[in-house]
A and B are shown apart, each in its own frame.
Chain A
Amino acid sequence: MILFSLLFPLAAAATPEEKGLAIAREADLRDAGFIDFTADLLMILKNKHGQKSVRNIRVRTLEVADDGDKGLTIFDNPKDVKGTAFLTFSHKQGDDDQWLYLPALKRVKRISSRNKSGSFMGSEFAYEDISSQEVEKYTYKWIRDDIYDNRECFVVERYPGDKKNSGYTRQVSWIDKSEYRQWKVEYYDRKNSLLKTLTAKKYQQYLDKYWRADQMYMVNHQNGKSTDLVWSNYKFQVGLKVRDFNKNSLKRAR
Chain B
Amino acid sequence: MDKLEKMFGSMVIKQRWWIIVATVLIVAAAAGGIRHLAFNNDTRVFFSGKNPQLQALEALENTYNKTNNVLFAIAPKNSDVFTRETLAAVEELTELAWQIPYSSRVNSITNFQHTRAEEDDLIVEDLVQGAGNLADDDLLRIKRIALSEPLLVNRILSPAGHVTGVSVIILAPGKSLNETPKVAAFARKMADDFRKKHPGIKLYLTGGVMMDNAFGEAGLKDMSTLVPLMLLTLVVIVGLSLRSFAGTFATLIIILISMVTGMGMAGWLGIMITAASSSAPTIILTLAVADSVHVLATIFQQMRQGNSKHEAIAESVRINLQPVFLTSITTVIGFLTMNFSDAPPFRDLGNIVAMGVTAAFVYSVLFLPAFMAVIPVRVKPKPDEAVCAGCDRLASFVINRRKVIFWGSLIVIVALTAGMLRIELNDNWIKYFDKSYDIRRASDFTEENLTGFHIIEYSLESGETGGINNPDFLTTVDKFAGWYRQQSKVVNVNTITDTMKRLNKNMHADDESYYRIPKERNLAAQYLLLYEMSLPFGLDLNNQINVDKSATRMIVTLKDTSTTELRATDEKARAWLQANAPESMFTYGSGLSVIWAHLSQRNINSMLGASFVALVLISAILTLALRSFKLGILSLIPNLAPAFMAYGIWGLTVGQVGLGLSVIAAMTLGIVVDDTVHFMSKYIRARREHDLNPAGAVRYAFNTVGTAMWITTLALVAGFMVLALSGYNMNADMGLLSALTISLALILDFLFLPTLLMKVEGKKYELLDKETDATTIDRHDSVFAPVSVGSSSDS
In B62-101, which residues have CB < 8 Å from any A CB?
62-63, 65, 98-101
Other A-B pairs, 20, CB within 8 Å; known A51-B547, A109-B120: A46-B547, A47-B62, A52-B548, A53-B546, A78-B466, A78-B525, A102-B526, A105-B507, A109-B507, A110-B122, A111-B121, A115-B534, A118-B536, A122-B549, A190-B98, A191-B98, A191-B99, A191-B100, A222-B173, A225-B547
Per-position binary interface string of chain B over residues 93-123, scored 1 when its CB falls under 8 Å from any chain A CB and 0 otherwise: 0000011111110000000000000101111
Contacts of B51 in A (CB 8 A): none
Q: Is the CB of A80 within 8 A of B525?
A: yes
Instruction: Please determine whether A113 and B525 come into contact, CB atoms closer than 8 angstroms.
Output: no
Instruction: Tell me which residues across on chain B come within 8 A of A78, comparing CB atoms.
Output: 465-466, 525, 549
A104 touches B520 (CB 8 A): yes
Binary interface profile of A, 94-119, with partner B (CB < 8 Å = 1, else 0)? Answer: 00001010111101111111111111
Which residue on A lies nearest to B522, using beta carbons?
A104
The listed residue with most B CB atoms (<10 A of its CB), out of A50, A104, A127, is A104
Q: Closest B-chain residue to A46, C-beta based?
A: B547
Given contacts A47-B62, A224-B62, A112 and B121 within 8 Å (CB-CB): yes
A48 at the interface (CB under 8 A from B): yes
Band of interface residues on B: 35 or more
Q: Give chain B's interface residues, CB within 8 Å of chain A.
A: 59, 61-63, 65, 98-104, 118, 120-125, 171, 173, 465-466, 469, 507, 520-527, 529-530, 532-542, 545-549
Chain A residues with CB under 8 Å of B524's CB are 80
Chain B nearest CB, measured from A221 CB (Å): 8
Contact B529 A118 (CB under 8 A): no
> Bound complex: CA of A202 vs CA of B8, how far in Å?
79
Contact pick for B530, options A49, A102, A120, CB 8 Å: A102
* Residues of chain A contacted by B520 (CB below 8 angstroms): 104
- Contact residue among B101, B526, B541 (Cβ-Cβ distance under 8 Å from A104): B526
Please give, as numbers and ranges, the residues of chain A lying within 8 Å of B465 by CB-CB distance. 53, 78
CB < 8 Å: which of B98, B122, B469 contacts A80? Answer: B469
Among A53, A98, A222, contact of B104 (Cβ-Cβ < 8 Å): A222
User: Using an 8 Å CB-CB cutoff, how does the interface string of A64-106 with B read, 1 for contact, 0 for none?
Assistant: 0000000000010011110010100000000000101011110
Partner of B122, one of A53, A111, A127: A111
Q: Are A118 and B533 in contact, with the CB atoms below 8 A? A: yes
The answer for the CA separation of A122 and B536 in the assembled complex, in Å, is 12
A167 contact from B103, B523, B526, B538, Cβ within 8 A: B538
**Complex Cα–Cα for A193 and B186 (A):** 15
Contact status A113-B534, CB under 8 Å:
yes
Q: Point out the residues of chain B lying under 8 angstroms from A81, CB to CB.
A: 522, 525-526, 529
Measured in the bound complex, the distance between the Cα atoms of B535 and A225 in whole Å is 18
Closest-CB distance, A27 to chain B (whole angstroms): 25
State whether the Cβ of A237 lies closer than 8 Å to any Cβ in chain B.
no
Distance of A96 Cα from B507 Cα, bound (Å): 22
Q: Is the CB of B533 within 8 A of A86?
A: yes
Using A52-B547, A78-B465 as known contacts, say yes or no to A112 and B118 having CB atoms under 8 A apart. Answer: yes
Judge whether A165 is part of the interface by a CB distance below 8 angstroms: yes
User: Separation in Å of the B202 CB from the closest CB of chain A?
Assistant: 26
**A29 close to chain B: CB less than 8 A:** no
The interface centre, meaning the residue of A102, A108, A114, A121 with most chain B CB atoms within 10 A of its CB, is A102
A115:B532 contact, CB within 8 angstroms: no
Q: Quick one: closest B residue to A78, CB to CB?
A: B466
Distance in angstroms between the alpha carbons of A120 and B540 in the assembled complex: 9
Chain A hits for B120, CB < 8 A: 107-110
Given contact pairs A80-B525, A109-B121, A49 touches B62 in the complex (Cβ within 8 A): yes
The interface residues of chain A lying within 8 Å CB-to-CB of B99 are 190-191
Distance, CA A183 to CA B539, complexed state (A): 29
Q: State the CA gap A114–B123 with chains docked (Å).
A: 10
Contact A115 B542 (CB under 8 A): no
In the complex the two chains form, is A223's CB within 8 Å of B104's CB? yes
| Chain B, residue nearest A99 (CB) | B120
Determine whether A253 belongs to the interface, using a CB cutoff of 8 Å to chain B.
Answer: no
Contacting pair B523 A104 (CB below 8 A): yes
Q: Which residues of A contact B536 (CB under 8 A)?
A: 115-118, 165, 167
Is the Cβ of A112 less than 8 Å from the Cβ of B123? yes
The answer to whether A112 touches B539, judged by C-beta atoms less than 8 angstroms apart, is no
Ranked 7 nearest A-B pairs via Cβ: A167-B537, A80-B525, A53-B548, A117-B537, A49-B62, A118-B535, A104-B522
**CB of A126 closer than 8 Å to a CB of B:** yes
Q: Which of A75, A80, A190, A221 gathers most chain B CB within 10 Å?
A: A80
Decide: A191 near B101, CB < 8 A? Known: A51-B63, A118-B534, A122-B532: yes
Q: List 27 A-B contacts (CB under 8 A).
A: A47-B62, A48-B62, A51-B548, A53-B549, A75-B529, A78-B466, A78-B525, A80-B521, A80-B524, A81-B525, A84-B526, A86-B533, A98-B533, A102-B527, A104-B522, A104-B525, A105-B526, A109-B120, A110-B121, A110-B122, A112-B122, A115-B534, A117-B538, A118-B533, A118-B536, A122-B542, A122-B549
CA distance A109 to B121 in the complex (A): 5
Contacts of B538 in A (CB 8 A): 117, 167
The reply to whether A222 and B102 contact each other, CB–CB distance below 8 Å, is yes
* A45 at interface by CB-CB < 8 Å: yes
Docked pose: A127 CA to B61 CA in angstroms: 25
Nearest opposing residue in chain B for A190, CB measure: B98
A105 to B534 alpha-carbon distance, docked (Å): 18
- Which residues of A lie under 8 Å from residue B525 when comparing CB positions? 78, 80-81, 104
B173 contact set on A, CB distance < 8 A: 221-222
Q: How far is the CB of B537 from chain A (nearest CB, A)?
A: 3
CA distance A153 to B507 in the complex (A): 48
Assess whether A105 is in contact with B547, with CB atoms less than 8 Å apart.
no
> Which residues does chain B contribute within 8 Å of A48, judged by CB atoms?
61-63
User: How many angstroms between the C-alpha atoms of A102 and B63 in the bound complex?
Assistant: 28
A47-B526 in contact (CB<8A) = no
**Would you call A119 and B535 a contact (CB within 8 A)?**
yes
In the assembled complex, the Cα of A116 lies from the Cα of B539 at a distance in Å of 12
Shortest CB distance A45–B (Å): 4
User: Contacts of B123 on A, CB cut-off 8 Å?
Assistant: 112-113
User: Which residue of the partner chain B has the closest CB to A224?
Assistant: B62
Contacts A51-B546, A118-B537 given; indicate if A84 touches B529 (C-beta within 8 A).
Answer: yes
B178 CB, nearest partner CB in chain A, Å? 15
Among A79, A109, A122, contact of B541 (Cβ-Cβ < 8 Å) = A122
Question: CA–CA, A110 to B546, complex, Å?
Answer: 26
- The CA-CA distance from A221 to B99 in the complex, in Å, is 17
Q: Write out the residue numbers on chain A whose beta carbons fall within 8 Å of the beta carbon of B507.
A: 105, 109
Report the separation of the CA atoms of residues A241 and B124 in the bound assembly, to the nearest whole angstrom.
31
Contact, CB under 8 Å: A115 / B535? yes
* B63→A47 contact, CB < 8 A: yes
| Whole-angstrom distance between the Cβ of A109 and the nearest chain B Cβ | 5
Q: In the complex, A12→B177 CA distance in Å?
A: 49
Q: Decide: A80 and B530 in contact? CB cutoff 8 A.
A: no
Q: Mark A134-147, 1 if CB is under 8 A from B, else 0.
A: 00000000000000
Known: A108-B120, A112-B121, A115-B534. A122 touches B547 (CB 8 A): yes
Within the complex, the shortest CB–CB distance from B389 to chain A, in Å, comes to 72
Contact A112-B124, Cβ < 8 Å, known A121-B532, A223-B171: yes
Q: A residues within 8 A CB of B534?
A: 111-113, 115, 118
Of A79, A110, A111, A191, the residue contacting B466 (CB under 8 A) is A79
Q: Could you say which of A103, A126, A165, A189 contacts B526, with CB atoms under 8 Å apart?
A: A103
CB distance from B732 to the nearest CB of A (A): 38
